[in-house]
Each structure stands twice: as C-alpha cells, then as structure tokens.
Amino acid sequence: MDYRFRLWLMKDNKKVFGEGPLMLLKKVEELGSLRQAAMSMGMSYSKAWKIMKQIEEELQIQLINRKIGGVAGGGSTITREAKDFINKYEALVASVNKKIEEDINRFFVI
C-alpha cells in the first residue's frame, strides 16, 4: 500500500512552513543564491523573497543572510538558525512518517 501526506506548520490558521519553503531553503544552501534557488524551482525571485520574509516574520528567526551584489556579485546563505530549523522540521516529518507507516501496518494488514 502506498501512502502520502503533507505536513505544514500553521499559525493563526495560515501556513507558515512546509515542503515548498524547505526545498527553497535547501536550494539556497546548495546554490548560494535566493535568485538561483527560485529560478531552479520555476519561481520568481520576488515570490521567493516574499515567502522567506513572511516565514522569518512568523517564526521570529532570520533564515537567510543576504549579500548585496557588486563587483564580486551578491548571494545568499542560510543561517545557523535555518539549519537548525530544517533539521527539526525534517525530524518531525520522519517521526510522523514512521507513525503513519506503523498505523497503516497495524490497521491495514497487507
């Protein structure tokens, strides 16, 4: 049996964090640029920037260090707080996934 789920963190009945922002942060870490991360996901830079800004405001942590362009160019890196948050979120997803799998195996013996 195949199963799927999506886990969102919500505040005041609106989504704050989920799979999309997680992927965006991982792409920023990989590519060193919010602009490049957004492009790789088929998203505009302005939308990516807005998403990150909203999450930072809701979580009250800085997720991205931004370096303004110039001769050497700009870029972005994720903060230590973002890395910690990613690790906690992924641990939560793994825990939920394990519980769902256990319950499926218990309730739907296949």
Domain boundaries, the chain: 24-107
Average pLDDT, the chain: 91
This prediction's pTM: 0.86
DSSP 100: H
At residue 68, the pLDDT reads 75
- For the chain, report the end-to-end CA distance as a whole number of angstroms: 8
For the chain, what percent of residues have pLDDT higher than 90? 75
At residue 27, the pLDDT reads 97
On whether the CB atoms of residues 54 and 40 are closer than 8 A, the answer is no
For 29-39, write each residue's pLDDT tens digit.
999 999 999 99
Kind and range of the H or E element at 106?
A: helix 80-107
Burial of 21 (0-12, 13-18, 19+ CB in 10 A): buried
- Which fold, 24-107? Arc Repressor Mutant, subunit A (1.10.10)
Contacts of 84 (CB under 8 A, 6+ apart): none
Kind and range of the H or E element at 67?
A: strand 64-67
DSSP 110: -
